[in-house]
């Protein structure tokens, strides 16, 4: 029995040394992801060894509390069952103020409210869910139960700035890029950004319901003249409504997609016809190489005239006028 105790004490010293090395390792490294597989491997070995020791000591009825010392305390603490922490994937928070509420709400619902996790476990998950500037805020705190509350408080003091988050979303609305070319994806992007930031502001209890005219005025500056002209032509009597304005933009985006699909289909049919007439076109193209009066002046296609060109029809009104004038295609 005495020999067994000596062996157990020696094993305890080795275990404590290994645990200390692991704790130092996790505190020093900044990017835990690079060592994730290695960490999980040794964590598995640690818990297997801990389970075997616990089972052995339980079987030894004559094992006294005085001889076990700190080993017994480290193995069983208030009937806490040691187990390997399962990986929980949460989008990492890097320190962007606008993302703080989304992160902390998700962390609270998934981890902080999990009664099966100890405070130390929750702090471990918190540390592994931070990166960049946010990780630096609590990097000097040791992995203890007491520091979990301190870490949450430090993060709240640094990032829980409601006014700054509101200003971020308002600035994002003002900074939506103006259309350089009116296309379906560009129009849908304006609608998506507007809805996203307005929804975020509403979540922050900002009274955006009364902002319709202001938001419409901001978004009108992002549109091209032709789209804006069509909007006013379709506008009915009364004040503008943001919902109908966004619906108009979405309908116009759908129209662009429909026309583009039709043009693509007609272009494919044109290529099919040209394939069957290759021989005759080679001859006629040689004869008419200096006579391009029948070609489309805009896209140089041989299969339609300018007034039939879908690309010309889809271009902006000002661009069409400039093209006609610069190529002297009008008659007085």
Find the helix or strand (DSSP H, E) in which 250 lies: helix 242-276
User: Which of 94-108, 111-125, 200-214, 318-332 is least confident?
Assistant: 318-332
Tens of pLDDT along 127-147?
A: 888 988 988 999 888 888 888
DSSP per residue, 159-201: H--HHHHHHHHHHHHHTPPPPSS--HHHHHHHHHHHHHHHHHH
Cβ atoms of 224 and 182 closer than 8 Å: yes
Token readout for 144 is 């203890």
Q: Could you read off the pLDDT of 229-264 as tens digits, one per residue?
A: 888 877 766 667 888 889 888 888 888 887 765 545
Averaging pLDDT over each range in 27-41, 43-57, 108-122, which range is the top one?
108-122
Question: Quick one: how far is CA 100 from the chain centroid?
Answer: 13
Can you tell me the distance from the alpha carbon of 331 to that of 305, in angstroms, rounded to the nearest whole number? 17
Terminal Cα distance for the chain, rounded:
116
Q: 175-184, 250-259, 290-299, 313-322: which has the minimum mean pLDDT? A: 290-299
Q: Which two tokens stand for residue 306?
A: 């300018």
- pTM, two decimal places: 0.49
Give me the half-sphere count of Cα atoms (radius 13 Å) on the Cβ side of residue 21: 10
């Amino acid at each position: 029995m005495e020999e067994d105790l000596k062996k157990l004490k020696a094993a305890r010293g080795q275990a404590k040394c290994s645990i200390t090395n692991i704790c130092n390792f996790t505190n020093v490294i900044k990017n835990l992801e690079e060592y994730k597989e290695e960490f999980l491997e040794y964590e598995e070995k640690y818990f297997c060894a801990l389970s075997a020791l616990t089972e052995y000591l339980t079987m030894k009825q004559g094992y006294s509390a005085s001889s076990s010392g700190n080993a017994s305390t480290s193995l069983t603490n208030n009937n806490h069952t040691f187990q390997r922490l399962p990986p929980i994937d949460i989008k990492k928070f890097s320190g962007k103020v606008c993302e703080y509420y989304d992160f902390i709400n998700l962390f609270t619902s998934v981890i902080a409210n999990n009664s099966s996790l100890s405070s130390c476990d929750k702090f471990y998950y918190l540390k592994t869910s931070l990166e960049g500037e946010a990780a630096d805020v609590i990097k000097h705190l040791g992995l203890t139960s007491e520091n979990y509350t301190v870490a949450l408080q430090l993060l709240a003091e640094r990032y829980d700035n409601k006014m700054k988050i509101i200003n971020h979303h308002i600035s994002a609305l003002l900074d939506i890029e103006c259309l350089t070319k009116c296309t379906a994806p560009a129009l849908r992007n304006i609608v998506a950004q507007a809805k996203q930031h307005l929804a975020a502001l509403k979540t922050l209890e900002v009274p955006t319901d009364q902002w319709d005219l202001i938001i419409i005025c901001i978004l009108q500056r992002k549109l091209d003249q032709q789209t804006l002209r069509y909007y006013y032509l379709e506008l009915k009597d009364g004040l503008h409504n943001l919902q109908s304005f966004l619906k108009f933009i979405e309908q116009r985006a759908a129209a662009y997609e429909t026309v583009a699909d039709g043009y693509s289909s007609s272009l494919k049919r044109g290529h099919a016809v040209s394939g069957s007439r290759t021989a005759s076109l080679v001859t006629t193209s040689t004869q008419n190489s200096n006579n391009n009066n029948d070609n489309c002046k805009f896209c140089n296609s041989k299969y339609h005239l300018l007034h039939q060109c879908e690309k010309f029809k889809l271009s902006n009104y000002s661009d069409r006028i400039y093209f006609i004038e610069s190529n002297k295609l009008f008659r007085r």
